[in-house]
Structure 1
């Protein structure tokens, strides 16, 4: 293994960005530590800093799940208050923002469960109509024009990204929620299943079917609109 003295000329220039990232990371951790210390000391300015730093991402996550701005605002408020009350349980095993994100997601899911209990329609969630259909020989019943661009490229375009979000909202709630937790909020399988109160196997099945349905909806959309 070579040591630093054997590094080629110019090697320091490659290390500079890494050093910058490490410095920014260290500053962020110090800022979090200062906020936590201030909160535990009862400093109202620390709470204001906490809200300013995290209210945007938390509200966006809650809105994706709830699809209602007033409910999302309520959930974010609940999340901050819950975090403040349970601050003594925060051990620093995750970043402060990650901890807050989990609290907000859980609060949003609880609100969704309350909605379902209050819904008297009793409608069964059915995703079959959104899934691709296949003939007896295994071929798709309807063939759409193949995508010229990858899904990632399509989603990265502002106008397509907006439509993808709208199509996600067309999925039945149980499938939409799984897709959001895993593919947008980037929670892992175990945590997503725990939050939803379902088995990991059930979650994987729902996620697979949700992705199938979303792709089918997007392919149909691109066919109808003539997108390249």
Structure 2
């Protein structure tokens, strides 16, 4: 795979990648970088990792781009929020439209302090159960669930990414949800 093919993939999936970056961009980091910046950084990272795109040709290109976007977000957070430079948490925007105002960030930090130990433990247990259930699902089931729930894609969008028909995507999604529910009920001991 060469840079032209990666460029075509970014053009094809630009809207989905920007939407994904917008959904997962830390509000504090959003004061320094935009979702388009994240997608651009992801493109640069993809151009440096051509062998990553050549490996496992059965995995859709969008899924590889999605994974690379999350790694880019993580790298940007590390660079901007964990660096021993200007404190991003103290920066204020002087004008223009921002994703989160300083007041919203302060309220978010305040809300984090209201989490009780019991609710935190419950959330960790649910997360652990979900991780275990996902490990038992097939790659196809995980892909369709991630695309639908984490990327907010429709069945038609999933079908285009996975190169299957919309009807097949719909059937695959319903079956994956059923297997998820069944496995979660089996592992937790409770019916869902």
Task: Report the TM-score, using the length of structure 1 for normalisation.
Answer: 0.34
Task: Report the TM-score, using the length of structure 2 for normalisation.
Answer: 0.40
